[in-house]
Chain A
Amino acid sequence: MNYFPDEVIEHVFDFVTSHKDRNSISLVCKSWFKIERYSRQNVFIGNCYSISPERLLRRFPCFKSLTLKGKPHFADFNLVPHGWGGFVQPWIEALARSRVGLEELRLKRMVVTDEGLELLSRSFVNFKSLVLVSCEGFSTDGLASIASNCRHLRDLDLQENEIDDHRGQWLSCFPETCTSVVTLNFACLEGETNLVALERLVARSPNLRSLKLNRAVPLDALARLMACAPQIVDLGVGSYEDEQDSESCLKLQAAIRKCTSLRSLSGFLEAAPHCLSAFHPVCHNLTSLNLSYAAEIHGSHLIKLIEHCKKLQRLWILDSIGDKGLEVVASTCKELQELRVFPTDLHGGGNTAVTEDGLVAISAGCPKLHSILYFCQQMTNAALITVARNCPNFIRFRLCILEPHKPDHVTSQPLDEGFGAIVQACKNLKRLSVSGLLTDQVFLYIGMFATQLEMLSIAFAGDTDKGMLYVLNGCKKMRKLEIRDSPFGDAALLADVNKYETMRSLWMSSCEVTLGGCKRLARKAPWLNVEIINENDNNRMEENGYEGRQKVDKLYLYRTVVGTRVDAPPFVWIL
C-alpha cells in the first residue's frame, strides 16, 4: 500500500465507514494516520467529556457529521439530577469558530439551548441534518431558527426530548423555497401544531420519507397529510380519536391504501381502541411497528393488527398484549429480529399480563430474533434455559423483572442458572441487563462466558465484591458498566484500576463504595474523572473525617484526555 499515492489510499478508506474500523486503520502507520484524519467524514464521540472540541478539530479538520453523547444511560431513569452536565454549547461555539463544513449533528442526552440552535443554524451553510435524542433545555424557538436558516435542511428528527413548546409558529418558519425535507419527527412536542403550515410543508416536500406527528394532529388532518405524501415510508400517527364522522374515516382509509411504500408505523399517542383497523391494508408490508405509547388500545385489537404483519422485523409493544398475544406474534412474525415489551402496570398490582411463557413462545417461534427488552412480573430458570436453547443468536438481551430480588417463582431459587444459560449459549452477546434474585454466581458465569459483552446493567443483584470482580476480570470487551443498589464496594472498585482505561464509563449508585475508596481510585488513576454526585448534602462529604465509612450515593467515572471538566454543578464533586 505504500506504493500508492495518497489519493488512492484515501479512496480505499472511503469504503471503511465504521468508527471502530477507521480507528483501527489509523493505527497502522503514520502515513495512514494522516490520510485517515483528513478524510474522516463521520466522527462519533461516546462521551462528550472524554475530549474537547478543540482537540477534536485538531485531529479531524474535515468532518461533516458529528455524533455526541452526554449524560450516562441511567439519566433516562431519573438517576442523574438536573443540571449535571452534557452541555452542547461549547461544542457548537468551537465548531462555528472553525472552518469545518458541518452537515449533520446527532446528540443524545445532552443539554441544548435555543441560542445554541440559533448559532448552529447560522454557522454552517450546508447544514442538513439535526437528530436530537433524549435532549432537553430548548424550546420551539430554537426549532424556528433551524427551520428559518437552514436552507438545505433534510432531517429534523426529535426523539423523546423535553422541549418547551411555546405554541409558536415554528412550522411556518420553513421558507416556501424549502423542498428538501426527508425526515420530520416532532412527536415529542406537547403543544398545538400549525396544521396549515404543516400541510403546506408536506405538500412541497416530494422527498419526504419519514413523518412523525405529535398528539395535536387530529385524524382528518392525518388523512390530508397522507394524501399529500403517499410516498411515505415511516409514519408516526398523533392523535387518533374514535368518534369520527364516516367521511373522515373513509378519506383516511383511502389515503392509507395509497401509501404502498409504508414500512414503519408508530405513535397512536391518544388512540381509541378501534382505530387500528384502518391500517390493516398496509400491514402486510410493515417491517417496524411501535405501539409502546398506545396505552388505550386493548390487547385484542393489538393482536388483530399483528395478525396481518407477516413481515415484521421490529416490534415495540406494551404488555397488555399478554402471553396469548405474544403467541400470535410468534406464529405470525417469522422475520422478527427485535422485540420490546414495556410494562403497563408499574405498581406490581398482580397483573400478570406477560410471563415467562410469552418469552419462551417468542424464542421458539422467531428464529431471527437477536434483540429483546422484556418487562415482566415473573420468570423461571427453566424458561430462560429454554430461551437460550431456542435463540443462541442474541446480541442484546435485557430482562427486567419488575420486583427487585424476585426469585424463580416456581422453585424460589435465584435466577443465576437461567442467565448463565443465556450467556453461555449466546456467543455474540454484546448487551445484557439482569434482574430478579441473583447471587455472585451469575457474575461468575458472565465473566466466564460473555466474552463479547460490551454493556452490562445490574440492579439489585449480587452478594459480595466477588460478583463485580468476576465481571471486571472476565469481560475483556466491557465498555459500559452500570450498577445500582448492589452490594459492591471499594475492594471491587480498586482491584484493577487500569481496567477503566479500556472502558468508556462506570456508574455505581446505592452500592457500598465509600468516599475513601473513590479518593484512592482518583489518586491512582489521574486519567479518569471520578465524579461523586450527591444531591442531598452538598458539603457534608468533605467535612466528615470518616471517609472510609462514608458511603457514596452515586459514582460516575470515565476515561478522559482533557482532565476535570469545568462545567460541573455544586452537587458534583470531581476527585
Chain B
Amino acid sequence: MEICNSYSSSSVDSTKHSASESSVNLSLSLTFPSTSPQRATKQDWPPIKPRLRDTLKVRRRLLQRDYDTCLFVKVYMEGVPIGRKLDLSTFSGYESLLENLSHMFNTSIICGNHRDRKHHVLTYQDTDGDWMMVGDIPWEMFLETVRRLKITKPERC
C-alpha cells in the first residue's frame, strides 16, 4: 500500500517547499491522484459532484474541438456579391490575416487604425451581431468572437 505515500508529506520539512518543487509534484497529483492505475481513472479530485464533472467534461471537449479544428468564416468584399471562405485558425495574427486577404481580393486592406481614402478597411461581425473594426482587441479574443468578415470601401468608415 505504498500508493498513499505519493502525496503525503509526513517526513518532509514543510519550510523546504519551494514553488517549483511543489508544482512538479502537483502536476502529477492533479491528473493522477495515485500511481495505481485503478485509482487514476477514479476521478476523485477536485471534490465536485459527478453531474458537474460530466458537464465540464463535455464543455472541455467542445472547447478542444474549437481549438483543434478549423475556424472558417465568410468574407465579403463590398460591391462583390460572391464571398469567400477563410480558415482563421491558419493565421498567427492580424498582420498575416490582412496580408492574406489583400492577396485574395487583390487590393490593399488595412485595419481600422490608419484609415485613408485609398485602402479598404476590414470589419467583422461579432457574436452580438454588431459590426466592428478589426484590430481593436487581442487576436485570441477576436477568434472567439468573430462570425464573419467584410471588406468595406474606403469612404464608408
Contacts and interface: CB of A to CB of B under 8 A. Distances in A.
Interface of A: 74, 76-79, 134, 160, 162, 188, 269, 273, 292-293, 295-296, 342-348, 375, 400, 402-407, 409, 412, 414, 437, 439, 457, 459-460, 463-464, 485-487, 510-512, 535-536, 550-553
Interface stretch (B16-24, B95-103, B106-114): B16-24
Contacts of B9: 405, 463, 487
Given A348-B27, A536-B38, A293 B10 contact: no
A162 B51 CA distance: 9
B65 interface: no
Contacts of B58: 295
30 contacts: A76-B47, A76-B50, A77-B48, A78-B50, A79-B42, A134-B49, A292-B52, A293-B51, A293-B52, A295-B55, A342-B52, A343-B46, A346-B60, A347-B60, A403-B30, A404-B26, A405-B25, A414-B14, A437-B17, A459-B47, A460-B29, A463-B10, A485-B33, A510-B7, A510-B34, A512-B10, A535-B38, A536-B36, A552-B1, A553-B1
Nearest to A412: B19
A344 B49 contact: no
B44 interface: yes
A412 B17 contact: yes
Main SS of chain A's interface residues? loop
B56 A77 contact: no
Contacts, number: 127
A270 B151 CA distance: 35
B59 interface: yes
Interface in B48-93: 48-53, 55-56, 58-60
Contacts of B47: 74, 76-77, 400, 457, 459
Given A510-B7, A512-B10, 5 more contacts: A134-B49, A405-B9, A439-B14, A485-B8, A510-B4
Give the 7 A-B residue pairs with the shortest CB-CB distance, closest first. A487-B10, A551-B1, A510-B4, A487-B8, A295-B59, A439-B14, A403-B26
Contacts of B46: 343, 346, 375, 400, 402
Contacts of A553: 1, 3-4
A117 to B, nearest CB: 21
A134 B49 CA distance: 9
B59 A512 contact: no
A382 to B, nearest CB: 17
Nearest to A514: B1
Interface centre among B23, B46, B59 (most CB of A within 10 A): B46
A78 B44 contact: yes
A536 to B, nearest CB: 6
Contact of A404 (B7, B19, B55, B59): B7
A486 to B, nearest CB: 6
Nearest to B58: A295
B8 A511 contact: yes
Interface centre among B3, B4, B22, B29 (most CB of A within 10 A): B4
Interface centre among B3, B12, B56, B59 (most CB of A within 10 A): B56
A347 B57 CA distance: 11
A347 B8 contact: no
A456 to B, nearest CB: 14
Contacts of B17: 405, 407, 412, 414, 437
Interface residues of B, number: 42
Given A76-B49, A160-B49, A412-B19, A405 B4 contact: no
Interface of B: 1, 3-4, 7-10, 12, 14, 17-19, 22-23, 25-27, 29-31, 33-34, 36, 38, 42-53, 55-56, 58-60, 127
A160 B51 contact: yes
A404 B30 CA distance: 7
Contacts of A345: 60
Nearest to A510: B4
A400 B36 CA distance: 24
Interface centre among B30, B47, B53 (most CB of A within 10 A): B47
A553 B3 CA distance: 9
Nearest to A457: B47
A409 to B, nearest CB: 8
Contacts of A162: 50
Given A273-B127, A347-B31, A510 B22 contact: no
B3 A510 contact: yes
A78 B41 CA distance: 10
A437 B22 contact: yes
A273 B38 CA distance: 38
A460 B22 contact: no
A84 B138 CA distance: 52
Contacts of A76: 47, 49-50
A512 B45 contact: no
Contact of B22 (A406, A439, A552): A406
Given A412-B18, A485-B7, A553-B1, A404 B29 contact: yes
A345 B46 CA distance: 10
Contacts of A552: 1
A569 to B, nearest CB: 17
Contacts of A407: 17, 19, 22
A403 B22 CA distance: 9
A273 B29 CA distance: 34
Nearest to A348: B30
A535 B3 CA distance: 14
Contacts of B43: 78
A485 B48 CA distance: 17
Contacts of B27: 348
Interface centre among A269, A457, A486, A510 (most CB of B within 10 A): A510
Contact of B42 (A78, A296, A485): A78
A295 B60 CA distance: 10
B31 to A, nearest CB: 7
Contacts of B3: 510, 553
A271 B59 CA distance: 12
B79 to A, nearest CB: 30
A323 B43 CA distance: 27
Given A460-B7, A463-B9, A346 B53 contact: yes
A295 B54 CA distance: 11
